[in-house]
Amino acid sequence: MKKLFLSVIGMYLTMLAAFSQGGPKTDSAYKPRKLTFEEANLVSSYYRQDGNNSAVTGGIGSEKLTDFSNSIDLKLNMYDRRLRKHSFTAEIGIDHYTSASSDKIDPSTLSSASHADTRFYPSLSWTMENESKGTAIGSAVSFSSEFDYKSFGANINFAKKTGNRSGEFSAKAQAYFDQVSLIYPVELRTNQHEDDYATTGRNSFSGSLGWSQIINRQLQISLEGELVYQQGYLGLPFHRVYFTDNSVHVENLPSTRLKIPLGFRANYFIGDRFIVRTWYRNYHDDWGVNSNTIQVETVVKLTPFFSVTPFYRFYQQGATRYFAPYGLHSATDTYYTSNYDLSRFNSNFFGAGFRIAPPEGILKIQRLNSLEVRYGHYQKTTGMNSDILSLNLKFR
């Protein structure tokens, strides 16, 4: 953890040193044919949560968890002979988390290997934009690795603006091919000294369609619909379920899941100082989970270069038909889980952030374009609560 923290500080200082000199000024009409730096982002977050409904211990027990997350992305662009803009983005992320409940996979140890882990997730993406035609196509590949989970992802996307440039249609197709290590609770393992865990697959395919529309000089909206199909091992092998007869089992969920989220956004610039950002999502899936989410945030521009953003998010969810609390599932159930993330609950998430983007750059470093800090507190009606603090530094 100390090494990770020092590495992150080192990354920040390296980026500051690299960009502190400022690059050559470019004419806005100039179309560089060579690969040119566009922007870089550093995002760091610290997340902590607590609760008493851990799925690892069958719906009871500590949900205490911390996560220190860091990512860097670098965006470069160039124009080809036909003046199409090519953007390339490389991103690397690293998360380090500790989890009290994961430690209970093998409670006989004082502190098992599973009490903490590091996730590493690089990705590469490319977009080609034809500004004269108003079209863009792109693709991306991603990889994610942690001790018990590996994932390969890829997507392709397309966007087309209307003739008057006030509307845009977008489409995206995405696939993830994941491998889950079958780490069972210690009392349910057939080989007690097993270190080389078997793996099983989980594939996710999604398609999304979107439409964004400028309504007037202050208002724009968007609508997005997705269809997500998952197949394979969709539970987690270390989630315990206790039956009415006190026997313990591994969570068992169907091998397919179809999800349909529909999202709507509207952003409104009121006067010269206020922006109201709203988002609503309606979600259904074939496990019986239905939910509604609404988020409202108001950006208050105290000066043209400094803004404060309080926000509030409300989430309402109905339980999956396969959920029951600790000790309430029976042997006649085909599928069963005591994971409270799939139970019936409401949640509130609220907080505030601020953003500084002075024209001369942060700390007079021309390339350090903006600094943003955001804090949020999250509460579920099941009793779980969490806090998150995030920082974003943008270099241009």
Partner 1 sequence: MKNPQLQIHFRPSMLACTIIAFFIISCTTVKEYQKNKLNDAEMQLSSRKIEKTELNFQSYREGASGANGGKTGGGCGCN
State which of positions 74-93 bind partner 1 (CB under 8 A). none
What's the per-residue H, E or C state across 261-320?
A: EEEEEEEEEECCCEEEEEEEEEEEECCCCEEEEEEEEEEEEEECCEEEEEEEEEEEECCC
CB of 84 within 8 A of CB of 39? Answer: no
CB of 387 within 8 A of CB of 351? Answer: no
CA dist 368 and 393 (Å) reads: 7
Closest to 28 in 3D by CA, of 131, 164, 165: 131
In the bound complex, what is the minimum distance in angstroms from residue 58's beta carbon to partner 1? Answer: 17
Q: Which is nearer to partner 1, 21 or 216 (CB)?
A: 216
In the bound complex, what is the minimum distance in angstroms from residue 144's beta carbon to partner 1? Answer: 5
What the block records as the tokens of 381 is 């009606």
Q: Does position 224 bind partner 1 by CB under 8 A? A: yes
Using CB under 8 A, which of the segments 131-139, 186-194, 221-229, 358-366 binds partner 1?
Answer: 221-229
Q: What is the CA radius of gyration of the chain?
A: 24
CB of 354 within 8 A of CB of 338? Answer: no
Q: Which is nearer to partner 1, 269 or 326 (CB)?
A: 269
CA dist 158 and 153 (Å) reads: 17
The pairing of beta strand 135-146 with beta strand 116-130:
antiparallel
In the bound complex, what is the minimum distance in angstroms from residue 54's beta carbon to partner 1? Answer: 12
Q: Segment 17-46, which members bind partner 1 (CB under 8 A)? A: 41, 43, 45
Q: Which is nearer to partner 1, 93 or 327 (CB)?
A: 93
> Quick one: which of 57, 77, 142, 338 contacts partner 1 (CB under 8 A)?
142
Q: Which is nearer to partner 1, 225 or 331 (CB)?
A: 225
Q: Segment 279-318, which members bind partner 1 (CB under 8 A)? A: 279-285, 287, 289-293, 299, 307, 309, 315, 317
Binding mask 237-276 for partner 1 (x = CB under 8 A): --------------------x-x-xxxxxxx-x-----x-
Q: How many residues bind partner 1 (CB under 8 A)?
A: 101
DSSP assignment string, 366-384: TTEEEEEEEEEEEEETTS-
> Quick one: which of 230, 242, 249, 367 contacts partner 1 (CB under 8 A)?
230
Strand ranges, E, within the chain = 36-50, 65-79, 85-99, 116-130, 135-146, 149-161, 167-181, 199-214, 219-232, 240-242, 248-250, 256-270, 274-285, 290-303, 306-317, 345-356, 368-380, 385-395
CB of 154 within 8 A of CB of 139? Answer: yes
CA dist 69 and 61 (Å) reads: 25
Using CB under 8 A, which of the segments 23-31, 108-116, 189-197, 351-359 binds partner 1?
Answer: 351-359
In the bound complex, what is the minimum distance in angstroms from residue 291's beta carbon to partner 1? Answer: 4
In the bound complex, what is the minimum distance in angstroms from residue 81's beta carbon to partner 1? Answer: 25
Q: Does position 374 bind partner 1 by CB under 8 A? A: yes
Q: Segment 190-219, which members bind partner 1 (CB under 8 A)? A: 202-204, 206, 208, 212-219
In the bound complex, what is the minimum distance in angstroms from residue 19's beta carbon to partner 1? Answer: 17
Q: Does position 376 bind partner 1 by CB under 8 A? A: yes
Number of C-beta neighbours around residue 29 at 10 A: 5
In the bound complex, what is the minimum distance in angstroms from residue 30's beta carbon to partner 1? Answer: 18
Q: Segment 145-174, which members bind partner 1 (CB under 8 A)? A: 146, 148-149, 151, 153, 164-166, 174
Q: Does position 220 bind partner 1 by CB under 8 A? A: yes
